Chain A
Amino acid sequence: EAAVTQSPRNKVTVTGGNVTLSCRQTNSHNYMYWYRQDTGHGLRLIHYSYGAGNLQIGDVPDGYKATRTTQEDFFLLLELASPSQTSLYFCASKEGTGGPSQNTLYFGAGTRLSVL
């Protein structure tokens, strides 16, 4: 079973604050993703990466930066947090392209962020 660890689990900040969410996966998966989950919208893709140094834009990237420093580590950065970014954030990893065995997303436990 792939292990994806997110930190912190909970975070409270103020409008305009600077927040970094961390994600580490220990199965050497190629792909990593950041999603946010909000009632009525489901999971929405913010950014993703297919390897160290790579970054791809998802559906809702505005206000977010991300960086993949190593195969294992993917960070989501909110440099000027706003109340609209209050959400539950999930990191996920996936082995690679190809058939069903490589198409499973493994999720971290989530980070609940509140921007006051």
Chain B
Amino acid sequence: GQGVEQPDNLMSVEGTFARVNCTYSTSGFNGLSWYQQREGHAPVFLSYVVLDGLKDSGHFSTFLSRSNGYSYLLLTELQIKDSASYLCAVSWPNYNVLYFGSGTKLTVEP
């Protein structure tokens, strides 16, 4: 639902950064969430954004552009343990239903 698209894979290096992209259909948008899912575990909430711009939460930051149907999750000072899948979810048609992208698997190398 809502055409939530994410790249399948992303690789980066420990100590640097990684940007996980997400695009979605803009009609009826009610907010966007990011979840982290480690292999064999359930998704865990990271961030929710509904206003344009960058939301800085330290290790994780999120950017949203509603007019472009685009968001990214920025991870800085990467650690090996940041290796996980990162899921983008759009709330549509109201706050109560979340449609997920297929997730981006981030691999952090030494």
Contact = CB atoms under 8 A, between A and B. Distances in A.
B1 interface: yes
B95 A104 contact: no
Interface in B62-110: 87, 89, 91, 94-103
Q: Which bucket holds chain A's interface residue count?
A: 20 to 34
Given A31-B96, A43-B87, A48-B97, A103 B43 contact: no
A22 to B, nearest CB: 16
Interface residues of B, number: 24
27 contacts: A42-B101, A42-B102, A43-B87, A43-B89, A43-B100, A45-B1, A45-B97, A48-B96, A48-B97, A59-B1, A90-B42, A90-B43, A94-B96, A98-B95, A103-B31, A103-B91, A103-B95, A105-B33, A105-B35, A105-B45, A105-B89, A105-B98, A106-B45, A107-B44, A108-B42, A109-B41, A109-B42
Interface string A76-104: 00000000000000100010111010111
Given A43-B100, A58-B97, 11 more contacts: A35-B100, A45-B99, A48-B96, A50-B96, A90-B42, A90-B43, A94-B96, A103-B31, A103-B33, A104-B45, A107-B43
A107 B1 CA distance: 20
Interface of A: 31, 33, 35, 40-45, 48, 50, 58-59, 90, 94, 96-98, 100, 102-110
Nearest to A110: B42
B48 A41 contact: no
A97 B103 contact: no
Contact of B48 (A42, A103, A107): A103
A104 B48 contact: yes
